[in-house]
């Protein structure tokens, strides 16, 4: 990935006709009702209930109570004129122990949700796995064992055959990076393990689960159904264009981005990354003959989540930095550069532009959808009940201009979904970090449009992003 000219800032930019707009959420972050209608426990229920794992001891037990308030939330989307909605399906609602037994009451919630979305003229974009693994499967090894991939494919087939008469767009996984690395290596996400080899095994089984699930769903799907995977990317930035810096960049980019993309679009793990992580001795042990063909079966589109870049510098060859990347050595991770968002993440819209252009070069012809992008800032509710979230508005406009730049440069980007519709349970940060374009008062469950939501509604209506 190379740095390019800064985005132009002075004119309105119109997106191509048919560009898809919407917002995104995920099940554990918004649904609540964690013990209602037969839902089984997930690894996030267990993790959040463990002292010290989540800021403020917050859990998703109630969250935005979307399980009960979904009609109101759909009405909000309608009011904002959002044509599409990306949400996730909670595996432990559908299969409380992750295998065999199907919980009809859990599936019925997604019937109600999908029917209400369609009724409101909003296209449902479900993701089958956004991190809430049934706890029973984790008790059996979770993603570190191959069987979980097979269980995931069974579950995907169940949901697909149930909702497939109404839903045509299907996403398997959200961000296997986070499930594998944050869940099994840095341990900041459920299940909170800290073992590099387990993380790399989990990575492979997640990708295999994606491949098997896609295969199972395609086998029973009509021709108009589309299948996708959502990956998160963080372009790696260096301060000097010399061989040592480029080498540090190569290593970090390999483990951060290419180890997820290459198996999917090329059918192979990148050789240089395999060499970098050979000392962990993990992937060789779990990759079986035929896996990569399954993982690389053609996708209909790729979901791209982007928030911020990663900065690195070279270090001594055996130096192990504090990072989320299992097996990384010889690289120094640099702190983000300001102005940061409220969660402390760097803001670099040009990296989104470069990323989308780079992805279109890596996978020519593959449609891309920005499935998540957004920012957390502290919000102040004025006495009149307004939220003037200037930081979030600016982030939105700057990143949309970067997306437009990528489209102008020929990137195959078909749409943009704002993260997130609602303030919600932001994983290890609990409710303190607010990513919503709609404010949620977690005491009263009152929803209030922020200025960013009003601006986004205008952008969507006009298919045009204003100057910064």
Q: Is 257 in the site for ligand FCB (CB under 6 A)?
A: no
419 is a site residue for ligand FCB (CB under 6 A): yes
Question: Does residue 325 belong to the site contacting ligand FCB (CB under 6 A)?
Answer: no
372 sits near ligand FCB (criterion: CB under 6 A):
yes
85 near ligand FCB, judged by CB under 6 A: no
Residue 76: closest CA among 428, 423, 431? 423
Given a contact cutoff of 8 angstroms between Cβ atoms, the answer to whether 40 and 96 are in contact is yes
Compute the distance between CA of residue 210 and CA of residue 43 in angstroms, rounded to an integer.
19
Nearer Cβ to ligand FCB, position 13 or 182?
182
For residues 38 and 4, is the Cβ–Cβ distance under 8 A? no
Measured between alpha carbons, how far is residue 172 from residues 128, 155, 181, 322 in Å? 5, 11, 18, 30
Catalytic residue (one of 31, 193, 348, 372): 372
Q: Which of 26, 198, 360, 394 binds ligand FCB (CB under 6 A)?
A: 26
CB atoms closer than 10 angstroms to residue 141: 15
Q: What is the dihedral of CA 244, 248, 254, 256, to 10 degrees?
A: -160
Task: State yes or no: is 169 an active-site residue.
Answer: no
Mark the segment that binds ligand FCB (CB under 6 A) among 170-178, 208-216, 313-321, 457-465: 170-178
To the nearest whole angstrom, how small is the minimum distance from the Cβ of residue 256 to ligand FCB? Answer: 13
Active site residue 372: yes
Task: Decide: helix, strand or coil at residue 225.
Answer: coil
Cβ atoms of 175 and 231 closer than 8 Å: yes
User: Tokens 């704002």 map to which residue?
Assistant: 418
Phi, psi of 323 (to 5 degrees): -160, 175
* Contact flag: residue 178 with ligand FCB (CB under 6 A): yes
232 binds ligand FCB (CB under 6 A): yes
What is residue 410's three-state secondary structure?
Answer: coil
Q: H or E segment at 401?
A: helix 390-408
Check residue 143 for interaction with ligand FCB (CB under 6 A).
no
Q: How far is the CB of 399 from ligand FCB (least distance, A)?
A: 13
Q: Kindly state whether residue 405 participates in binding ligand FCB, applying the rule CB under 6 A.
A: no
Which part of the chain contacts ligand FCB (CB under 6 A), choosing from 51-59, 171-179, 330-338, 437-445? 171-179
427 in contact with ligand FCB (CB under 6 A): yes
92/330 with CB nearer ligand FCB = 92
Which active-site residues does the annotation give?
Answer: 175, 372
> Footprint of ligand FCB on this chain (CB under 6 A)?
26, 29, 174-175, 178, 232, 305, 372, 419, 426-427, 435
């Amino acid at each position: 990935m190379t740095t390019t000219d800064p985005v132009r800032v002075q004119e309105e930019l119109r997106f191509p006709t048919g560009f898809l707009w919407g917002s995104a959420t995920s099940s554990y972050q918004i649904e609540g009702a964690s013990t209602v209608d037969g839902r089984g426990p997930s690894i996030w229920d267990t993790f959040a209930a463990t002292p010290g794992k989540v800021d403020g001891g917050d859990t998703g037990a109630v969250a935005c109570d979307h399980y009960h308030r979904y009609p109101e939330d759909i009405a909000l989307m309608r009011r904002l004129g959002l044509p599409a909605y990306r949400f996730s399906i909670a595996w432990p609602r559908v299969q409380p122990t992750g295998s065999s037994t199907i919980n009809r009451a859990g599936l019925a919630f997604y019937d109600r949700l999908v029917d209400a979305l369609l009724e409101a003229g909003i296209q449902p974009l479900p993701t089958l796995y956004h991190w809430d693994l049934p706890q029973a499967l984790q008790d059996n090894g979770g993603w570190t064992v191959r069987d979980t991939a097979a269980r995931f494919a069974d579950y995907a087939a169940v949901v697909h055959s149930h909702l497939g008469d109404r839903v045509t767009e299907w996403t398997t996984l959200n961000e296997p990076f986070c499930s594998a690395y944050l869940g099994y290596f840095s341990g900041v996400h459920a299940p909170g393990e800290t073992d590099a080899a387990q993380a790399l095994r989990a990575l492979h089984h997640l990708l295999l689960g994606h491949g098997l699930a896609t295969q199972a769903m395609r086998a029973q799907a009509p021709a108009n159904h589309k299948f996708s995977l959502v990956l998160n990317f963080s372009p790696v930035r260096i301060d000097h264009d010399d061989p040592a810096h480029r080498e540090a960049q190569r290593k970090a980019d390999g483990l951060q981005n290419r180890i997820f993309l290459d198996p999917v679009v090329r059918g192979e793990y990148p050789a240089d990354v395999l060499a970098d992580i050979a000392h962990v001795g993990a992937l060789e042990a779990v990759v079986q003959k035929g896996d990569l063909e399954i993982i690389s079966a053609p996708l209909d589109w790729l979901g791209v989540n982007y928030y911020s870049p990663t900065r690195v510098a070279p270090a001594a060859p055996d130096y192990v930095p504090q990072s989320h990347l299992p097996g990384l050595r010889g690289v120094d991770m640099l702190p983000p550069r300001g102005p940061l968002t409220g969660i402390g993440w760097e803001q670099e819209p040009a990296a989104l532009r470069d990323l989308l252009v780079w992805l279109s070069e890596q996978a020519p012809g593959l449609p891309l959808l920005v499935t998540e992008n957004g920012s957390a800032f502290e919000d102040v509710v004025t006495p009149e009940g307004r939220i003037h979230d200037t930081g979030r508005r600016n982030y939105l406009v700057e990143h949309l201009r970067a997306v437009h730049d990528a489209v102008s440069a020929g990137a195959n980007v078909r749409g943009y979904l704002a993260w997130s519709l609602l303030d919600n349970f932001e994983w290890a940060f609990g409710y303190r970090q607010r990513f919503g374009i709609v404010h949620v008062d977690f005491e009263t469950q009152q929803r209030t449009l922020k200025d960013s939501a009003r601006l986004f509604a205008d952008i969507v209506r006009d298919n045009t992003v204003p100057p910064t």
